[in-house]
Amino acid sequence: MTALGAGRARPRDLGVRVAENVLFTVGLPVLAVGLWAVWSTRSTNRFLVGPRALLDAFRQTWIGPAFVDDVLPSLYRLLIGLFASILLGVAAGVVIGRLRPLRELLEPLLEFFRAIPPPVLIPVAMLLLGITDTMKVVVITSGAIWPILLNTIDGVRATDSVMMETARSFRISRWDRLWLLILPAASPRVMTGVRQALSVALILMVISEMFASSAGLGYRIAYFQRNYLIAEMWSGILLLGLIGVVLAVVFGVVERRVLRWYHGMKEVSRG
């Protein structure tokens, strides 16, 4: 009877937990939108747009040709720059992290370039590469690479030395040590760097299109601002937020699959 009662209680407890999670997830945004709607109806500020006007502007502006002409090219440049940052950051991070003399030689140089804000490189990139998609991708890559590179270096340096010596004693090749030991050990920090690079890449995508471009999401937002199309400007900002949410969700799914072993170890250690 006790086991039967417990079996019946489990679906109910699960439903309560799901309802609580949904409430906590949706409750605050719904409350914020409600307060926003009340505030916008009572405010006389013409730069404050209500939710209904914003949704109308969003539908009229972005659902149609503007999505193909402006949003998709921006997303393409964002993804290319992000993938280039991951490949270059991980490859360089592994080499620098494994070679101590090289790391000590490059450390001052890395600190110097890391301290330079990527947006200030846009005029330089324009002079060297022209106003092209390549310039925008280079700007995105130049800023997004640093979290990945530095976290990869730290992750490679933190690889267990006992395990490395054990692998050498068993005459495991360097290539196998890289794929089976070093990269898995560094992967939690690498994924942390990629998560940080997502927001940096999104910001640089917008800034690179605001400086010199005739199309793209950043260009459209700046165009709406200069022409006092306030609802359309806010709709572009809303679209940027939605893109960030989608990127975070997709990254969360990929991260859980890549680091499944890591989260499993954490659960075992907690138990």
Are 103 and 95 a contacting pair, CB within 8 Å? no
Q: What is the per-residue pLDDT for 110?
A: 87
**212/141 Cα distance (integer angstroms):** 17
Q: What is the per-residue pLDDT for 9?
A: 47
**201/118 Cα distance (integer angstroms):** 10
Q: What is the per-residue pLDDT for 221?
A: 92
Structure tokens at 12: 């109910």
Q: What is the per-residue pLDDT for 2?
A: 47
Mean pLDDT of 47-76: 89
**133/241 Cα distance (integer angstroms):** 23
**138/133 Cα distance (integer angstroms):** 9
Q: What is the per-residue pLDDT for 43?
A: 67
**pLDDT over 80 at 27, yes or no:** no
**pLDDT over 90 at 113, yes or no:** no
Q: What is the per-residue pLDDT for 82?
A: 95
For the chain, the average pLDDT equals: 85
Q: What is the per-residue pLDDT for 10?
A: 57
Q: What is the per-residue pLDDT for 165?
A: 85
**Tens digits of per-residue pLDDT, 211-239?**
767 888 999 999 999 998 989 999 999 99
**pLDDT over 70 at 12, yes or no:** no
Query: Residue 259: exposed, middle, or buried by beta-carbon count in 10 A (0-12, 13-18, 19+)?
Result: middle
Q: What is the per-residue pLDDT for 60?
A: 92
CB atoms within 10 A of CB 184: 16
**230/210 Cα distance (integer angstroms):** 17
Residues 101-129: b if buried by 16+ CB within 10 A, e if exposed: eebeebeeebeeeeeeebbebbeebbeee
Mean pLDDT of 81-87: 96
pTM: 0.83
In degrees to the nearest 10, what's the CA dihedral of 199, 202, 205, 210? Answer: -100
**229/237 Cα distance (integer angstroms):** 13
**pLDDT over 90 at 45, yes or no:** no
* CA distances to 38, 44, 45, 231, 258 from 41, in Å: 5, 8, 10, 15, 47
Range from 19-28, 126-135, 137-146 that averages highest in pLDDT: 137-146
| Chain CA centroid to CA 44, Å | 37
